[in-house]
Amino acid sequence: MTVNGTAHDHDVEPRTLLVQYLREACGLTGTKVGCDTSSCGACTVLVDGESVKSCTMFAAQADGASVTTIEGLADGDRWHPVQQAFHEHHGLQCGYCTAGMVMAAVSLLDEVPEPTERDVRLGLEGNLCRCTGYHNIVKAVLAAAETMRAAR
């Protein structure tokens, strides 16, 4: 599979989960395991541009796909607008949910480029945050949408 634009080729056991593959075979530990039961979204990555919970997918299912993790978002040393907005609007506290939250937001903004606050709240329903109360996360995603709209 291609991960963040780089081809990766490993033989893995069929039961290897995508998140394990990314963290252990590719060494990309930005993607976190939170609940390990498909609920929290901390493990969210993009597979062919769409958000998925990488704890609930086998690496073999992503064979040949293009996977993007948090490490692959920035353009050199320029952050992705969603990363920038999380920074500016303080969309995180402990940061554990953040990689998944950012990836889910990137996928959401791809599907709904001009979201309302409700669209953002519903669009991130698969991602849990124990710290922020979501307020600043929603603010950050709306701000990122605005930045991306202005750039189009």
Partner 1 sequence: MIPAAFDYVRADSAEAAIGLVAEHGDEAKLLAGGMSLIPLMKLRLATPAVIVDIGRVRDLSYVRDAGDHLAIGALTRHRDLETSDVLARDCGVLRAVAAQVGDNQVRHRGTIGGSVAHGDPASDLPAALVALDATFVVRGPGGERTVAATDFFRGFLETALGPDELLCEIRVPKSGPNGYAYEKFNRRAQDWAIVGALAARVGGTTRVALVNMGPVPLRAAAVEEALAAGGSVPDAAALAAEGTEPPHDLNASPEYREHLARVLVRRALEAL
Ligand X SMILES: Cc1cc2nc3c(=O)[nH]c(=O)nc-3n(C[C@H](O)[C@H](O)[C@H](O)COP(=O)(O)OP(=O)(O)OC[C@H]3O[C@@H](n4cnc5c(N)ncnc54)[C@H](O)[C@@H]3O)c2cc1C
- Chain residues binding ligand FES by CB under 6 A are 33-36, 38-43, 53, 55, 92-98, 129-132
Q: How far is the CB of 145 from partner 1 (least distance, A)?
A: 15
Task: Pick what 26 binds: ligand X, partner 1, ligand FES, none; C-beta below 5 to 8 Å, kind-dependent.
Answer: none
How far is Cα 39 from Cα 54, in angstroms, rounded to an integer?
Answer: 11
Is residue 108 within 8 A of residue 144, CB to CB? The reply is no
CB under 5 to 8 A by kind: which of ligand X, ligand FES, partner 1, none does 52 bind? partner 1
101 neighbors 46 (Cβ within 8 angstroms): no
Question: Residue 115: which of ligand X, ligand FES, partner 1, none does it interact with, CB under 5 to 8 A by kind?
Answer: none
Question: Among residues 76, 54, 144, which one has the least CA distance to residue 106?
Answer: 144
Residue closer to partner 1, measured from CB, 3 or 40: 40
C-alpha dihedral, 132 to 135 to 137 to 139, nearest 10°: -150
Is position 85 an interface residue for partner 1 (rule: CB under 8 A)? Answer: no
